[in-house]
Amino acid sequence: MRGGGAAEIDGAIDDYLDHLTSERGVARNTMEAYARDLAGFAAFLARRGVRAVGRIGPGEMRGHVAALAERGLSPRSQARALAAVRGFVRFLVRERRLADDPAAKLRIRRPPPRLPRALGKGEAATLVASPAEQERNGLRDRALLELLYACGLRVTELATLRGEQLNLQAGFVTVAGKGGKERVVPLGRAARAALEAYLRLPRGRPGGRTSPFVFAGQRGRALTRQAIWKIVRRRALAAGLGVRVFPHMMRHTFATHLLSGGADLRVVQALLGHAEVGTTQIYTHVTPVRLREVHRRHHPRA
User: Does 283 participate in catalysis according to the annotation?
Assistant: yes
- Whole-angstrom distance, CA of residue 84 vs CA of residue 30: 10
Catalytic (active site) residue 248? yes
Q: Is residue 116 part of a domain?
A: no
Choosing from 86, 233, 274, 290, the catalytic residue is: 274
Among 104-108, 110-114, 125-129, 165-169, which is the least confidently predicted range?
110-114
Q: Mark whether 43 and 131 lie in a shared domain.
A: no
Inform me whether the pLDDT recorded for 5 exceeds 60. Answer: no
Q: Does 48 share its domain with 131?
A: no
Q: Answer yes or no: do 215 and 85 share one domain.
A: no
Q: Do residues 190 and 177 lie in contact, with contact meaning Cβ atoms separated by under 8 Å?
A: no
Instruction: Determine, yes or no, domain membership for 50.
Output: yes
Check: CB of residue 238 under 8 Å from CB of residue 130.
yes
Catalytic residue from among 154, 192, 252, 257: 154
CATH number at residue 28: 1.10.150.130
Q: Are residues 90 and 125 in the same domain?
A: no
Query: Is the CB of residue 283 less than 8 Å from the CB of residue 255?
Result: yes
Q: How confident is the model at residue 286 (pLDDT cuts 50, 70, 90)?
A: low
What residues contact 103, with CB distance under 8 A and at least 6 apart?
Answer: 58, 61, 82, 85, 86, 89, 90
299 is a catalytic site residue? no
Higher pLDDT, 214 or 28: 214
User: Catalytic residue among 62, 117, 248, 290, which?
Assistant: 248
Mark which of 94, 112, 133 sits at the end of a domain: 94
Q: Report the C-alpha gap between 82 and 44 in whole angstroms.
A: 13
Same domain, 90 and 169: no
Cβ burial, residue 217 (10 Å; 0-12/13-18/19+): middle
Mean pLDDT of 54-73: 88
Return d(Cα 13, Cα 28) in angstroms, integer: 16
> 208 and 71, same structural domain?
no
What are the DSSP calls for 1-40, one per residue? ---SSHHHHHHHHHHHHHHHHHTS---HHHHHHHHHHHHH
Cβ partners under 8 Å of residue 69, min gap 6: 78
* Residue 29 resides in a domain: yes
Total domain count, the chain: 2
Residue 111 lies in a domain: no
For residue 244, pLDDT beyond 50: yes
pLDDT beyond 50 at 94: yes
Residue 60 in any domain: the answer is: yes
Residues 270 and 185 in one domain: yes
173-219 pLDDT, tens digit per residue, is: 999 888 778 999 999 899 999 999 999 887 655 455 678 899 987 77
Same-domain status, 22 and 64: yes
CATH code at 260?
1.10.443.10
Burial of 38 (0-12, 13-18, 19+ CB in 10 A): buried
- 251 part of the active site: yes
Backbone angles phi, psi at 97, to 5 degrees: -95, -20
Is residue 87 located within the same domain as residue 12?
yes
Name the least confident of 78-87, 122-131, 185-194: 78-87
Containing structural domain, residue 52: 6-94
Catalytic residue among 16, 149, 198, 283: 283
Alpha-carbon Rg for the chain, nearest whole angstrom, is 23
274 is catalytic: yes
Residue 207 backbone class (left: φ over 0; alpha: ψ -120 to 50; beta: rest): left
